[in-house]
Structure 1
Amino acid sequence: MKRGKKYNEVVKLVDKAMLYDANDAIDLVQKTSVTKFDATVEAHIRLGVDSRHADQQVRGAVVLPHGTGKTVRVLVFAKGDKAEEALAAGADFVGAEDLIPKIQNENWFGFDVAVATPDMMGVVGRLGRVLGPKGLMPNPKAGTVTMDVTKAINDIKAGKIEYRLDKTNIIHVPVGKVSFGSEKLEQNFQTLMSAIIKAKPSAAKGQYLKSVVLSTTMGPGVKVNPAKISE
């Protein structure tokens, strides 16, 4: 892949063999951001688990103290009073069975997170094949299947992010924007890492944090020393 001149210049600032302390890594990813827009800072965390086993799954959600810097559109599957509550709490879209053809047939995905009340999961389940692969399926572990729709919406709008393993046992999540500055990014990163460390499955053996890399949109990856990340 051919890289631009600016990228080739900033990549020289990163020592590929070095494991940086978190604060140094955060300073470096900001310095090496090459985009004209306010880039997202992302964490890529490889865990010493095998996601093929149910007892080694790592999945959950955490509210980042400074949010992600992104406006999140929330869709709520609910009826009656709960639908009204969702609208009052600031949901962007609220519906029930009427949303199925819109999503299934019209291929509409104008939302970032889906929340559902438990009684709606029979309806939502019919969308599993389309919502699942996009990571949009409501899930009790992530707090997106709940009767407390107000709390779910407030948390999501405040900067709640979901983390889950991909097929290669890596978690990919945003931790903020370059414009946040080092202090806010570091607080967001530490909050995320504490949640992931606490979510360690009892079946996981050996080194849990295999590798941690921070990067910005289109910027080079900076390795963080996993041994120096604490709860």
Structure 2
Amino acid sequence: MGKKNKKNKKLYNNIDYKKKYSLDEASKLVTQQLFTKFDSSVDVAICLGVDPKKPNQMIRGTVNLPYGTGKNVRVLALIPPEREKEIKNAGAEYIGLDNYIKKIYNGWLEFDVIVTIPSVMIKLGPLGKILGPRGLMPNPKAGTVTQNPKKSINEIKYGKIEFKVDKYGIIHNGIGKVSFGFEKIKQNFLKLISVLNKKKPSTFKGIYFKKIYLSSTMGPSISVIL
């Protein structure tokens, strides 16, 4: 354990916390400073200058990362029997309806995303207290309540993620793995920034991107300047 601490301390010392790094520099640092024996996730934290209490400044949406996240997203497709056939080969780990709703009531949560169709949402209302706090309730704005569930499942499997500012105006998302290398992390980052730019409220005044940090699992935050 002592050797590991010394190694991590040395790696931490490679980061200048008073410096704002270019995206190229930050992407290289975050993928080269290895703090774990497993393939660490790379996360981005973006502090926006918006006020989430104002309806027109609640920034949320989805983005299709060009290189995905590197994670296997477990999809639960809550679909009535008559529509199961159309999504059979879309990649969802679980397909069904009433049986899975009952399992969720009983505490089963072995999934990451629910995809469903509008007519099913009335059945999910009573599950709000279970799914809501965990961010698992399907939402049309996230594309998880749709008349084309096959397309939505395919997009999620190939790198589509949802983003949403928290009450402090911060967006926090995983954008890949250390093993991706700096170029793929950079491209995923730029795609997210591009979509966020399009979400900027037309009436917004001030600094939109206030602070941006990249980090890997158990690693330090690296300040990024656009």
Structure-1-length-normalised TM-score = 0.92
The match for 2:110 is 110
Unaligned runs of 5+ in 1: none
- Once the 2 structures are TM-superposed, how far is the Cα of residue 50 of structure 1 from its aligned partner? 1.3
- Conserved? CA contact 1:40–1:176, under 8 Å: yes
- Secondary structure, in 3 states, of the residue corresponding to 1:130? helix
Q: Which amino acid aligns with 1:78?
A: I
Whether 2:80 is the aligned partner of 1:84: answer no
| Alpha-carbon distance in 2 for matches of 1:121, 1:163 | 21
Unaligned runs of 5+ in 2: none
Give the alignment of 1:80-229 within 5 angstroms. Answer: 80-105=81-106, 107-225=107-225, 228=226
The match for 2:15 is 14
- Conserved? CA contact 1:77–1:83, under 8 Å: no
- Conserved? CA contact 1:42–1:173, under 8 Å: yes
CA deviation string 1:48-69 (max 9, x = no partner): 1111222211111111111111
CA deviation string 1:10-53 (max 9, x = no partner): 11111111111111101111222310001010000011111122
- Secondary structure, in 3 states, of the residue corresponding to 2:133? coil
CA RMSD of aligned residues (A): 1.4
| Alpha-carbon distance in 2 for matches of 1:31, 1:209 | 26
Q: Which amino acid aligns with 1:113?
A: V
Change (3 A) 1:167 1:4: farther
- Conserved? CA contact 2:69–2:177, under 8 Å: yes
- Secondary structure, in 3 states, of the residue corresponding to 1:175? strand
CA deviation string 1:70-116 (max 9, x = no partner): 111101111133222222322111222322221122x1111111111
Q: How many residues align?
A: 223
- Conserved? CA contact 1:56–1:203, under 8 Å: no
- Conserved? CA contact 2:27–2:183, under 8 Å: no
Structure-2-length-normalised TM-score = 0.94
Q: Which amino acid aligns with 1:51?
A: P
Q: Which amino acid aligns with 2:222?
A: V
- Conserved? CA contact 2:42–2:215, under 8 Å: yes
- Conserved? CA contact 1:82–1:149, under 8 Å: no
The match for 1:35 is 36
| Alpha-carbon distance in 2 for matches of 1:170, 1:11 | 24
| Alpha-carbon distance in 2 for matches of 1:205, 1:48 | 9
CA deviation string 1:114-166 (max 9, x = no partner): 11101111112221111111111111111111011111011001011111112
- Secondary structure, in 3 states, of the residue corresponding to 1:13? coil
| Alpha-carbon distance in 1 for matches of 2:63, 2:8 | 32
